[in-house]
Structure 1
């Protein structure tokens, strides 16, 4: 990965770029951001950077001055300018400084992606060839194959990466299987690799976003190939002795292999209501032809819009309206398959939030849907799943890393901590973490942690017989004078006066 630094005095620009671009697809990683040239130079002294993307017009130090000084420190630095000014003098000076491109705001993302691709190619060409170790090959294989199944890698780059990994050309058809381990994951993965060893057209790799393994089967004949894949997977399930669960997607043209992966993901959810099974084929999923409901009824696309908008009233209204249509049909219970499919789609979306209680919530909804004997019970199951889902997403405006930091403060408030130490812990630059924390909590990191510690101190002052200096240490203050200062700032009186309120 090559490191990227973003510099713009408008935070929504840098945050928007971070979210809108799949940086890993170009072999790039954003390691920090700054709101002026001076702060950017400070970051460049702390973090190795290969690509600088900067605005020109900024306070304290403008972008052109930043480029000149940054180049003195990193001569090979690649620079891309983003500017709201279409002025010849700026462009001319930028070209003199040797930039990759001069892009006007609002950013044309196609042009930006093209520029990033060309820049990454230049960096790759300048990098000396070296042999990869076994661990590096494994990481590269995991990353490339997952990007392939999720449609985040182009054909040319895929062919190049497969050649580097020693993987032969893709067969015309492919099927994806997800293999979930329990117990000792290391041994289970080794067992999977042993059972599938020597299979020429199978690539086994780890899911880069989870603990599962994924087997990609290549095949010339989709029907015969899938039967052979199923035979191998059943043997694996048997060898796993209860430690392995497997879900297999359908055989698809290799260019559309992501569809097979999605089918396998959905099939995997059926283990919630069939915990004793070890193998589930995607054919167990309800098909559209079997459901045969009126157009628009219990369809995921319509529900997804309400999830994105976090519109709970509209979501519940839609469920009620759909079931009113279902009750008016000749065979209302034919909606059972559609309801199960809808609940599975809800769970797959909510899985992105990593909620620990999600499995149980959706298991209950699926159990109710599968065992439903009336449209009312079926509606109750869909409503329960939808309510849980939209409530989950309603609280997800906050960045995952900020939520992790808040949880860390709650659990370790008495321990020393700084933005720098938390940045190292969560792999994010401390300056950017501070900006993100302030934006999403409305408070600076220092104010938040002081307020939290003082809150704990207030509890101890009222409930424990400890002395003030002992309480200060218990909540993370080793300098008693600073504790008194913060306590008076947040409470209005000193600790001894507060304790005297009892």
Structure 2
């Protein structure tokens, strides 16, 4: 219903207007009434009025003066005058004051009702016209926003050539010539990676990469909260560094900012300090964690795509270097690596064949910790994850079972790291996959020969430190022919009985050396070797380095 204001100093006239017309049938309602123009103006400040019915002759502020003031302040409001003067001069004055029409007193309701119908139609037509204009303006703005985002994305992807006209149109806050830097900004996953892991555990561990990716996505409330955190940070950055343009990445949810350097208030170091200051403010305010990756500065607009890749790469290093900070591409150079990640597959296969889940989990934890401790590159982390996954698949295949439903059919380490994000979640994911593979392998080892070999392995696991332990003794313990045991043991494990005994002894020796034991004679005897020299020879053959390497290492 459209609101109506009645202004007349005669109470009876106002009552006749209210009661003599079915206002609702014309789409109107009486929203207020006043005795003079001054009170009427006061009501207009408090409520929105579409139609005012006004007496010309009133005290304090008359109808003509009211119309002049109201017409300036509220040009969309319709006004109809009431007057007891039928002269042409009064009619002209009313129309000049902005009246849509005027009625003579006493009011003829039969003449007033058609006027209301006409006014209702005019107001509806004007409202429709305004709606069309707003829609057209919104579509124009939306079209510009879509074209702007598309052009900036394509420019940063390198799929369109830079040109001055498009740059000026879509990046008006950036100077045409200058130095720039690209920022990649993203809210950190927080507990979402753990939630994703728990969902995988509860739902039976998916093997299809697409389903795994779907499970890894944050819920709508989580995404909304993360967007707010980034929005707040970017708003503060834009206020302090106005010479910048921001766009949302088409996939992945990262926000990309192109900032002008000198014209933005300083060089790249000044921009870096501002980013660090805003991150500190966000942390102190207790907001969610946000990480920023920053590219090297560049001048050539055609190098923008390379800078965008640098910023994204810097951002990805939050997995190794930590979240909630600024990561500059120029400071990401990894230190030389001492670990041989390519040997992980062979080493993990050995541990998997031993069948000790705790030892496997500890090894994965050790490799990942070493990767982080030595400032490895992301590529080295990807290699490590790939080698661990390959070892798990090989171990499953060796035991005539597969890893479907445990590992994706085509594992992409980079996509996995991007999905799980947090270092701790990646470690838990790998350890849980290893545990699942071991459980699956154990479930198929229930054939008579498998059970026999399992008994032999259990005996060896308990007694490997006995210097007298040999094939005959082991076979006698489980009441089986030594030759038969040797054959089925090799078939089931890939090792001979002697090789498995040696493997158990070497694994235990390395654990002792890693824990700080430095007396090689003591270690040798503790794992079943009276001859320390022979022990050292076997140890070097197994691990590629002599045990003395651990003995002289700083604890």
Per the TM superposition, whether the score is higher than 0.5 is no
Compare CA radii of gyration and give the structure with the larger one.
2
* TM-score, length of structure 1 as denominator length: 0.33
Which of the pair has the greater relative contact order for Cα pairs under 8 Å at 6+ separation? 2
* TM-score, length of structure 2 as denominator length: 0.30
